[in-house]
Amino acid sequence: MCKEFEQVMKSKFEMSVMGELSYFLGLQVEQKEDGMFIHQIKYVYDILNRFKMNDCSTFNTPICENHNLGPDHESTEDVDPTQYRISG
C-alpha cells in the first residue's frame, strides 16, 4: 500500500523518499505496528519557547486522551467544500 502511494505521488509530483516519515508540517508522526500516531508535542514546545512561555501553567485538553479517531462510517451526506475554503 505504501509503495503504491509512493509511486502515484512520484508520477504526479517531483519528490524523493527520504525514509520513514517522522515530522511533517508541524506534526510528529509515529509509525508503530498497532497504528500511526500523530501529535504536535514538538510544535507546542517550539511555540512556547518562541514566546518565552516555557514556565506557563498547563491546562487539560478539551478532548479525551487516547481517543481513537477512525473513519466515520455512519455519515452518508457529502460535505460542501466551499464552506471550508479560505478567501482573501
Q: What is the count of structural domains for the chain?
A: 1
Domain assignment present for 27 = yes
Q: How far apart are CA 77 and CA 8, in angstroms?
A: 28
HEC sequence for 47-62: HHHHCCCCCCCCCCCC
Q: How far apart are CA 28 and CA 26, in angstroms?
A: 7
Collapse the DSSP code of 8 into the 3-class scheme (helix H, G, I; strand E, B; otherwise coil) and give the result.
helix
Domain assignment present for 83 = no
Q: Residue 1 above 60 pLDDT?
A: no
Digit-coded pLDDT (tens) for 18-65: 877 788 777 888 888 888 888 888 888 899 999 999 898 887 777 777
The grid coordinates listed for 65 are 486522551
* Residue range of the domain that includes 26: 16-54
Q: Residue 83 above 90 pLDDT?
A: no
Q: How far apart are CA 44 and CA 81, in angstroms?
A: 29
